[in-house]
């Protein structure tokens, strides 16, 4: 029988109910096919773009053709010829956010350190904000000439002087009193300021008022707050974030205009809520190959979850990303610069380019896996004669040897697995090779898992299982 081997991340409260997991792979949905054909591809590899002398990489952003990088205790200016210049020293951290204004100033903010630095690109000067009316902020953003900040542990937000990140007026603030909760963070989207509280989110706009230029937009109050300040990120003309309400937390949302829409599935929500801590989660987004990825990392839990907005079904859109030997994905931040998709390393000073033609993670193996749904037929005994998986074969290794993939299975609900058995993907040009395993025993409830790590293009297009269902 044809078996739907493919899918997303569903591992939930009980493995016996659902053990599905997709690691270091993403789905492609071919809408041109009558049955919306699914294909799993291994994620892009990473190739070193630039190694900076200090570590780790805290944040980076492109501005007017130059990439600015905070790595270790230094701010660097990187050009498209791979050269870099040290601008100066900074005291920032992994929560570094970056914004620029029309005056050519770039603001580097660390909520954890409660410190902000401004680099003036015209004057080539770097300074720390020392204005007494600067109170810190979980992040920095920019709206109509103003730097926008949230005062920690209050309902207040405030702005800088017009086109000057370094100057503040103690009277240039407002309070978001839609709910008696404190503000968590903010983001500017579609020329509107979105203020995330602990339980409520509001939208503000530039009304041009002489006393304070920002006013709350009526009818745009949402009864969902934010659980992690750095989980907020923009993509696909909307905003994604890890949410919190008065009834609970751990759901992932995107904004549909002024309406929060849940995009996490039950398995993902269970996983998130199993973590000891989620308020330190951070996210970045990027678009590549027709896919839009929201990459959400939980540092304390050492886990990275990825949502693909190109997949309309939330049950299919999620996956896990892992770096070999590290657990979570090694990327701490992202920037698109010089026509390249770049990420910074949370354990070194290396900037990596994401490359679909690179099949290693900076030289380390990319261990991919797909754990399928339960195979069960009213708990009747099932004889498993053969499993055939439809891989792109004939990819071969550079040395001419035969790359391998492995199959294992569980007959106890996904709790334990047998010793894996290998199969060949075929040497270069051997495109008619069948990837199959035979004589796989009997079960009443079986979960299959296929995995591999060979540095070759990996494409899985489905599977076929030959079974015989018993009477009892």
**Tens digit of each residue's pLDDT (9 = 90 or more) over 147-185:** 999 999 999 999 999 999 999 999 999 999 888 899 999
What CATH number should be reported for the domain holding residue 195? 2.130.10.10
**Contacts of 398 by beta carbon, 8 Å cutoff, 6+ apart:** 455
> Does residue 220 lie within any of the structural domains?
yes
pLDDT digit string (tens) for 394-437? Answer: 887 877 788 999 999 999 989 999 999 999 998 887 777 789 99
Cα 165 vs. chain centroid, distance in angstroms? 29
Q: How many CA atoms lie within 13 A of 215 on its CB side?
A: 10
> Does residue 408 lie within any of the structural domains?
yes
Are residue 267 and residue 342 in the same domain, yes or no?
yes
Q: How many CA atoms lie within 13 A of 202 on its CB side?
A: 21
Are residue 38 and residue 80 in the same domain, yes or no?
no
Q: How many CA atoms lie within 13 A of 182 on its CB side?
A: 10
121 compared with 177, residue with greater pLDDT: 121
State the CB neighbour count (10 A cutoff) for residue 328: 19
pLDDT level of residue 12 (50, 70, 90 thresholds): confident
How high is the pLDDT of residue 347?
Answer: 96
Are residue 49 and residue 30 in the same domain, yes or no?
no
- Quick check: 76 and 61 in contact, CB under 8 A? no
- State the total domains in the chain: 2
- Quick check: 19 and 11 in contact, CB under 8 A? yes
Q: Residue 272 belongs to what H/E stretch? A: helix 266-273
How high is the pLDDT of residue 372?
Answer: 93
State the pairing for strand pair 303-308/291-298: antiparallel
Give the closest residue to 165 by CA, choosing from 114, 72, 99: 99
Across the strands, what pairs with 364? Answer: 361
pLDDT level of residue 317 (50, 70, 90 thresholds): very high
Note if the pTM is more than 0.85. yes
Helix and strand numbers (H, E) in the chain are: 2, 44
Are residue 218 and residue 325 in the same domain, yes or no?
yes
Are residue 319 and residue 451 in the same domain, yes or no?
no
pLDDT digit string (tens) for 323-362? Answer: 999 999 999 999 999 999 999 999 999 999 999 999 999 9
- Quick check: 308 and 291 in contact, CB under 8 A? yes
Are residue 79 and residue 185 in the same domain, yes or no?
yes
Residue 393: which domain range? 2-43+369-469
Are residue 413 and residue 316 in the same domain, yes or no?
no
Are residue 91 and residue 218 in the same domain, yes or no?
yes
Are residue 189 and residue 126 in the same domain, yes or no?
yes
> Does residue 238 lie within any of the structural domains?
yes
Tokens of 84: 């870099």
How high is the pLDDT of residue 33?
Answer: 62
According to DSSP, residue 323 is labeled B
């Amino acid at each position: 029988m044809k078996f739907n081997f493919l899918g997303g991340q569903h591992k939930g409260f009980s493995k016996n109910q659902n053990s599905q997991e997709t690691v270091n792979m993403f789905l492609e949905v071919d809408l041109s096919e009558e049955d919306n054909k699914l294909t799993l591809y291994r994620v892009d590899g990473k190739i070193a773009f630039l190694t900076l002398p200090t570590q780790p990489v805290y944040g980076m952003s492109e501005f007017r053709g130059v990439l600015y990088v905070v790595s270790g205790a230094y701010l660097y200016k990187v050009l498209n010829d791979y050269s870099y210049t040290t601008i100066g020293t900074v005291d920032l951290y992994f929560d570094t956010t970056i914004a620029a204004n029309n005056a050519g100033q770039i603001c580097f903010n660390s909520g954890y350190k409660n410190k902000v630095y401004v680099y003036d690109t015209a004057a080539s000067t770097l300074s720390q904000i020392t204005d007494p009316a600067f109170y810190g902020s979980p992040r920095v953003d920019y709206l109509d000439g103003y730097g926008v900040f949230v005062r920690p542990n209050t309902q207040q937000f405030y702005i800088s002087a017009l086109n000057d990140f370094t100057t503040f007026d103690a009277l240039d603030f407002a309070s978001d009193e839609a709910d008696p909760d404190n503000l968590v963070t903010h983001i500017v989207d579609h020329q509107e300021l979105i203020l995330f509280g602990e339980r409520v989110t509001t939208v503000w706009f530039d009304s041009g008022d002489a006393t304070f230029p920002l006013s709350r937009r009526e009818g745009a109050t949402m009864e969902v707050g934010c659980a992690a300040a750095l989980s907020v990120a923009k993509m696909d003309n909307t905003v994604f974030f890890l949410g919190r309400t008065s009834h609970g937390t751990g759901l992932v949302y995107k904004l549909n205009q002024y309406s929060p829409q849940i995009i996490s599935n039950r398995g993902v929500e269970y996983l998130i809520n199993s973590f000891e801590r989620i308020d330190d989660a951070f996210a970045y987004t990027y678009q590549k190959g027709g896919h839009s990825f929201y990459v959400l990392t939980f540092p304390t839990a050492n886990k990275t979850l990825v949502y693909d907005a190109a997949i309309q079904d939330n049950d299919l859109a999620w996956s896990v990303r892992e770096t070999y030997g590290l657990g979570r994905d090694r990327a701490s931040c992202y920037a698109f610069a010089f026509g390249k998709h770049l990420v910074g390393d949370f354990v070194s000073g290396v900037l990596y380019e994401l490359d679909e033609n690179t099949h290693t993670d900076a030289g380390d193996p990319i261990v991919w896996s797909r754990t399928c749904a339960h195979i069960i037929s009213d708990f009747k005994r099932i004889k498993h004669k053969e499993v055939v998986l439809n891989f792109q074969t004939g990819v071969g290794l550079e040395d001419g040897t035969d790359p391998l993939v492995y199959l294992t299975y569980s007959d106890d609900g996904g709790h334990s697995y047998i010793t894996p058995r290998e199969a060949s993907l075929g040497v270069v040009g051997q495109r008619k090779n069948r990837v199959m395993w035979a004589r796989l025993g009997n079960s009443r409830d079986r979960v299959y898992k296929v995995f591999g790590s060979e540095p070759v293009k990996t494409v899985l297009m489905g599977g076929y299982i030959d079974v015989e269902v018993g009477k009892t």
